[in-house]
Amino acid sequence: MRFGTQFIVYFDRLAHNVDLLRSHIKGPEILFMVKADGYGHGAIPLVEFANRELNIKEFGLATLGEALALRQQLPSLNFEAYVFSDLNFSIPGMLEYYGENRILPVVHNERDLKIFLGAPQLRHFPLILKFNTGMNRLGLAPERQEEIIKMIKQVGRTSIYHLMTHFACASLNMKNAQNQRQIASFAAIKSQFKAANISIERTSISNSGAIEQNVGLDETHIRPGLMLYGPSSLIPSIRSKSWWHGKVISCFETLVLNSFLVAKGQPIGYGGTPVKEAGVLGVLSVGYGDGFSTRYQGVTLKDGKLCGEVVGRVNMDMIQVLFPNGTELDIGTNFKIWDEEEAQIEQFCKETGVIPYEIFCQMGPRVPRYYK
């Protein structure tokens, strides 16, 4: 655990983002994606706040373990937990975990579908199906839909609780051919179920990138992840296509451990990298042991008027930042690596080539999370 370096999550900013999203999308319900521990922010406090205060009732996880943790730690709350990828019903006991804890598996292959449909204790359990419309990762094959319909009818089911698919390229223009093919394929799958008299209670297709481009807003649900944490998920060249201007819900701040003048060429840190210019060197209390990757070497850090460059090697516990001569950098003060403004994260991503998803998820367990 660190002192002075922290990841602060502001609930009022999340509330702002949810309001902004709801006022734009009008109809659909939000299935809030909180996999990977709420994209590094801490799933449990996020779900507790979003469920109690923002009336969000559905949450998306990647693994059964993530969903179980929510059920165990928030036993009095009333929400649905979807698990998107951690599925293998041939493991003894796995189905029971889902059934007994009312955790909803997103069934994405026929082998698991068969076991699910054949389990007597799950006869009335919600059936959730994900189809592969072009992502080519997980998902039932559209070409097999007739057989799938037979399997469903054979056990006397007449409805699907939630039918979904996932875009491969939502961070690119939604008008491109790949995205349009996926949209058309999903529409065809829906019609074929209807033609077979299988009713569909819920549908969803869109993650952040698609929502930002107004795609999938006529389904019953949307599945936003990244946008609710603040940043846009569109690539910079089409960023202007997005209506989204969320607040970054987190502030990542660290501590100035040391500050001193350096001369041009002075070697610093491991490997003795010479500094390119004379200036003020700040040693900050964050390193790859906290999730500040060695790939962030050279990145510009800006906190208000303070602006410096990460120089030399990123260490496990510290980084060195070179500020211009004359900068007043006081030992013992905090330095914000990012805060509410999306521009900071955007700049960070642009310079490092890392996507915001990864920056958040990499945040290490040594960095304490605080919630305000």
Q: Please pick, from the candidates 162, 223, 241, 313, the single residue that binds ligand PLP as defined by CB under 6 A.
A: 223
The yes or no reply on residue 162 touching ligand PLP (CB under 6 A) is no
Q: How many CA atoms lie within 13 A of 73 on its CB side?
A: 13
Q: Which is nearer to ligand PLP, 47 or 306 (CB)?
A: 47
- Residues 66-105 as x/- pattern, contact with ligand PLP by CB under 6 A: ------------------x---------------------
Mark residues 165-204: x for contact with ligand PLP by CB under 6 A, - for none: -x--------------------------------------
CB of 349 to ligand PLP, least distance (A): 14
CB 239 within 8 A of CB 266: no
Residues 6+ away with beta carbon under 8 Å from 91: none
The two most distant CA atoms of the chain are separated, in Å, by: 79
Specify whether the CB–CB gap between 256 and 329 falls below 8 A: yes
Please identify, using beta-carbon distances, which residue of 227 and 275 lies nearer to ligand PLP: 227
208 forms part of the interface with ligand PLP (CB under 6 A): yes
How open is the CA angle 324-327-329, to the nearest 5 degrees?
A: 125
215 counts as binding ligand PLP under rule CB under 6 A = no
Q: Burial of 32 by CB count in 10 Å (0-12 exposed, 13-18 middle, 19+ buried)?
A: buried
* Residue 332 CB-density burial (10 A; 0-12 exposed, 13-18 middle, 19+ buried): exposed
Closer by beta carbon to ligand PLP, 13 or else 35: 35
Q: Is 242 in the site for ligand PLP (CB under 6 A)?
A: no
Return the number of the residue (209 or 291) whose C-beta is nearest ligand PLP.
Answer: 209
Q: Does 9 bind ligand PLP (CB under 6 A)?
A: no
We find the least distance from the C-beta atom of residue 34 to ligand PLP, in angstroms, to be 10
Among residues 133, 202, 201, the alpha carbon closest in space to that of 166 is found at: 133
Contacts of ligand PLP in 16-35 (CB under 6 A): 33, 35
> Beta-carbon neighbour count of residue 1 at 10 Å?
8
Of 84 and 131, nearer to ligand PLP (C-beta) is 84
Stretch of 50-58, 90-98, 221-229, 248-256 lying at the interface with ligand PLP (CB under 6 A): 221-229
Q: Got the DSSP string for 79-102?
A: -EEEE-S---TTSTTHHHHHHHTT
Contact 82, 59 (CB under 8 A): yes
Encoded tokens for 333: 């003060």
Size of the site for ligand PLP (CB under 6 A): 12
Check binding of 247 to ligand PLP (CB under 6 A): no
Assess 244 for contact with ligand PLP (CB under 6 A). no
Select the span of 174-182, 205-213, 265-273, 320-328 touching ligand PLP (CB under 6 A).
Answer: 205-213
Of 334 and 362, which has the nearer Cβ to ligand PLP?
A: 362
- Least separation in angstroms between residue 147's CB and ligand PLP is 23
Shortest distance in whole angstroms from residue 347 CB to ligand PLP:
20
For residue 223, the minimal CB distance to ligand PLP (Å) is 4
Is residue 224 a contact point for ligand PLP (CB under 6 A)?
yes
Segment interacting with ligand PLP (CB under 6 A) among 43-51, 72-80, 206-214, 338-346: 206-214
CA distances from 133 to 49, 165, 187, 336 (A): 34, 7, 10, 42
Q: Which residues contact 34 (CB under 8 A, 6 or more apart)?
A: 43, 46, 47, 59, 60, 61, 66, 225
Q: Quick one: DSSP state of residue 292?
A: -
| Binding-site member from 51, 233, 254, 285 for ligand PLP (CB under 6 A) | 233
Distance (Å, whole) CA 364 – CA 67: 21
List % helix, strand, coil for the chain (3-state, nearest 5): 35, 25, 40
Q: Are 172 and 218 in contact (CB under 8 A)?
A: no
Q: Which residues bind ligand PLP (CB under 6 A)?
A: 33, 35, 84, 166, 207-209, 223-226, 233
